[in-house]
Amino acid sequence: MAPPTQLPDSAGRFGHFGGRYVPETLTAALDQLVEQYQQAQADAKFAQQLQTLLRDFVGRPSPLYFAERLTQQCGGAKIYLKREDLNHTGAHKINNTLGQALLTLRMGKSRVIAETGAGQHGVATATACARFGLPCVVYMGAEDVRRQAPNVFNMKLMGAEVRPVESGSRTLRDAINEAMRDWMASVDTTHYIIGSVVGPHPFPMIVRDFQSVIGRETLQQCQTELGRLPDVVVACVGGGSNAAGMFYPLIDHAEIELVGVEAGGRSDAAGDHAAPLCHGEPGILHGSYSYVMQDEDGQTSDVHSISAGLDYPGVGPEHSYWKETGRVQYTECGDADALRAFDTLAKTEGILAAIETCHAVHNAMQIASRRSADQVVVVCLSGRGDKDAAEVARLRGEKG
């Protein structure tokens, strides 16, 4: 078997996960994307263009920040935050959308569609499209439009059209369905900028590669600023893009423990969480074979998370592969613990982190508290939490 960093194979497989299970209508466009992406990778000008954008437009590299007071409060290992929240648009999502927007132009396509859950990917896509003058339509579950109103307005400000999706559970999964259906009819002229490491080949590979700047910078910063590698690296996992981008460059450093944190929701009961790697089984959703929450007939189950960005029944196929090989340990964090971490980080560090990110923060705090002070725990602080402030207030109001 190929070493992990050379996957996927030509059929888009990570071990036996991944692949391409989509209608024939989309196959030619996916083949074109594979070909154009390979050409772009071999083109020094493409890399240069993307690098310049990441530096001057996004503000990379993002800092690796020592969370001193959080570390004191946990009383164990040193906690460092990889500050993706400081990127332009406030999350890691922009790393991918700029890369895919450049691919859109390269393919000669003139329109972009995207799905979004928390709205961070929608905002990042709208931003990239505004930057390049591409018309942009963002599909967003109607429930998420409600939960993440500030992001909806931001997308509109940048000229994107936001289409609320009323079908199914009215969340991220349904937004992906609608984006795929749009693409079925518009595939000749439109590129679908998918926001996570999910979907049919080559999307899980492309999104991972564009997000890998997170892990590459982290490695370099650890070596130059700390003079050593981290002991543990923690990231939240919905579809799994920030985690894949953080983990992928670290995979071959076997001494680094990698921990992915899924949404534990309200309880372990089916329908109360969004943690397919912890509680699901392999199956097919949105064009790839991976862990998923589904019933005995293969029907996708409804899931729950307090965070719109993790409220997804599937996960990227490479995460399934890393789970199966044991390279990454996957665990979960419940709604209440994520909210507590949101509070703690705000009060100890003056950082409002996205509620998605707070799932990773909670587990990183637990891990740090059990380790000695000479150890280093890095958390991927994948996004900022301004978007969540109103929803957190509403939840507190309901609880009295």
Partner 1 sequence: MSAIDHLFRKLRAEGRKALIPFVTAADPDLEFTAAVLAELVARGSPLCELGIPYSDPIADGPVIQASYTRALAKKVKLAEIFRMLSAVTPTLAAPVVTMVSYAIIRRHGPPQYVADAQAAGVAGLIVPDLPVEESLALTELCRAAELSLIQLVTPTTPRDRALRIIQSSSGFLYYVAVVGITGERQELPPALLDNVGWLREQSDLPICIGFGISLPEHVRQLAPVADGLIVGSAIVRRIADTAARPRHDVLQEVGDYVQSLIDAL
Catalytic residue list contains 115: yes
Question: Is position 270 an interface residue for partner 1 (rule: CB under 8 A)?
Answer: no
- Residues 325-330: contacts with CB under 8 Å, at least 24 apart: 325/4, 325/15, 327/4, 327/251, 327/258, 328/243, 328/247, 328/258, 328/259, 328/260, 329/257, 329/258, 329/259, 329/260, 330/237, 330/259, 330/260, 330/261, 330/262, 330/277, 330/278
- Determine the Cα–Cα distance for residues 232 and 367; give it in Å rounded to an integer: 8
Question: Is position 46 an interface residue for partner 1 (rule: CB under 8 A)?
Answer: no
Residue whose CB is less far from partner 1, 286 or 384: 286
CB of 181 to partner 1, least distance (A): 5
CB of 173 to partner 1, least distance (A): 7
- Determine the Cα–Cα distance for residues 321 and 129; give it in Å rounded to an integer: 33
Catalytic residue list contains 387: no
Q: Residues 17, 192, 210, 289: which binds partner 1 (CB under 8 A)?
A: 289
CB of 281 to partner 1, least distance (A): 9
x/- mask, partner 1, residues 172-201, rule CB under 8 A, reads -x---x--xx--xx-xx-------------
- Determine the Cα–Cα distance for residues 83 and 230; give it in Å rounded to an integer: 16
> In the chain, where does DSSP find H-type helix?
24-41, 44-53, 68-74, 93-106, 120-132, 142-147, 149-157, 172-186, 203-211, 213-221, 241-247, 276-279, 317-325, 335-349, 355-369, 389-399
Q: Exactly one of 78, 93, 109, 323 is catalytic; which is it?
A: 93
Question: Is position 15 an interface residue for partner 1 (rule: CB under 8 A)?
Answer: no
Question: Is position 365 an interface residue for partner 1 (rule: CB under 8 A)?
Answer: no
CB of 101 to partner 1, least distance (A): 23
Question: Is position 100 an interface residue for partner 1 (rule: CB under 8 A)?
Answer: no
Question: Is position 27 an interface residue for partner 1 (rule: CB under 8 A)?
Answer: yes
Residue whose CB is less far from partner 1, 92 or 173: 173
Residue whose CB is less far from partner 1, 218 or 288: 288
Q: Which stretch binds partner 1 (CB under 8 A): 13-21, 227-235, 331-339, 377-385?
A: 13-21
Catalytic residue list contains 93: yes
Question: Is position 164 an interface residue for partner 1 (rule: CB under 8 A)?
Answer: no
Whole-angstrom CA distances from 270 to 150, 217, 294, 304 are 30, 38, 10, 9
The helix/strand/coil state of 22 is: coil
Question: Is position 287 an interface residue for partner 1 (rule: CB under 8 A)?
Answer: yes
CB crowding 272-291: b at 16 or more within 10 Å, else e: bbbbbbbbbeebebbbbbbb
- Determine the Cα–Cα distance for residues 35 and 10; give it in Å rounded to an integer: 11
Question: Is position 44 an interface residue for partner 1 (rule: CB under 8 A)?
Answer: no
- What are 119's two structure tokens? 């709205």
Question: Is position 108 an interface residue for partner 1 (rule: CB under 8 A)?
Answer: no
Question: Is position 21 an interface residue for partner 1 (rule: CB under 8 A)?
Answer: yes
Q: Exactly one of 115, 178, 217, 356 is catalytic; which is it?
A: 115
- Determine the Cα–Cα distance for residues 216 and 248; give it in Å rounded to an integer: 9
CB of 23 to partner 1, least distance (A): 4
CB crowding 348-374: b at 16 or more within 10 Å, else e: bbebbbbbbbbbbbbbbbbbbeebeee
Q: Residues 5, 25, 38, 325: which binds partner 1 (CB under 8 A)?
A: 25
Question: How many residues belong to the chain?
Answer: 400
Question: Is position 120 an interface residue for partner 1 (rule: CB under 8 A)?
Answer: no
Q: How many residues bind partner 1 (CB under 8 A)?
A: 34
Question: Is position 327 an interface residue for partner 1 (rule: CB under 8 A)?
Answer: no
> Which residues are CB-contacts of 276 (< 8 A; sequence separation ≥ 6)?
262, 290, 291, 292, 293, 313, 314, 315
Q: Which stretch binds partner 1 (CB under 8 A): 19-27, 227-235, 346-354, 367-375?
A: 19-27
Q: Residues 22, 193, 213, 244: which binds partner 1 (CB under 8 A)?
A: 22
Q: Exactly one of 169, 382, 387, 391 is catalytic; which is it?
A: 382
Question: Is position 67 an interface residue for partner 1 (rule: CB under 8 A)?
Answer: no
CA atoms within 13 A on the CB side of 322: 29
CB of 295 to partner 1, least distance (A): 8
| Residues annotated as catalytic (active site), given as ranges | 93, 115, 382
Binding site for partner 1 (CB under 8 A): 11, 19-29, 167-168, 173, 177, 180-181, 184-185, 187-188, 283-287, 289, 294, 296-300
